[in-house]
Structure 1
């Protein structure tokens, strides 16, 4: 049971990829609380992001899901950044670049619910 449950991100993901992401985050950041995926409201901006970064590729069974974690003893920002380091490994470097720069397509379009990389 999550004591201090916080929504970290909303992602567009296939159901078959959820456990893989959970496992990869746990392997890379063993001290971080385990993440979970929950049903999320549809976020049209993530569908737009998918279409822009993956032209001509259908959404298939991708759907919006919330990534949540128990942030007791840590911060939502730290947890969110760790999840992003796994699902969007170029995001941290792209944040430091000056526009215009080439965007690396994300396998899982995402929207953060906390400030990042401050």
Structure 2
């Protein structure tokens, strides 16, 4: 059986709401990762994310996963860094993770996300 990414994103959103998992909305950009605030090196090809200072919370979420969706597209990313220029619910994704949602040329999108 085949499920479209739109169906999967809708199901994940519904599941987040039903299970009481907080779902957030924020601006999503991309950056070139390196040595992250969590203490590990990441490459542009890794599916990683930098959280805002508020969400990073001194490293409380290091190496946890979050799900990010934009329209019909979804990506699972690992928290490895802190984004000092991000507002509370904004995310900074690695290039490869961002490309799962939109073209790098887009630069910035508004997407939903939740802690997995």
Q: Same fold (TM over 0.5)?
A: no
Q: Shorter-normalised TM-score: what interval?
A: under 0.3
Q: Which has the higher strand share?
A: 2
The normalised TM-score by structure 2 is 0.27
Identify the structure with bigger relative contact order (alpha carbons < 8 Å, sequence gap 6+): 1
The normalised TM-score by structure 1 is 0.26
Task: Pick the structure with greater CA Rg.
Answer: 1
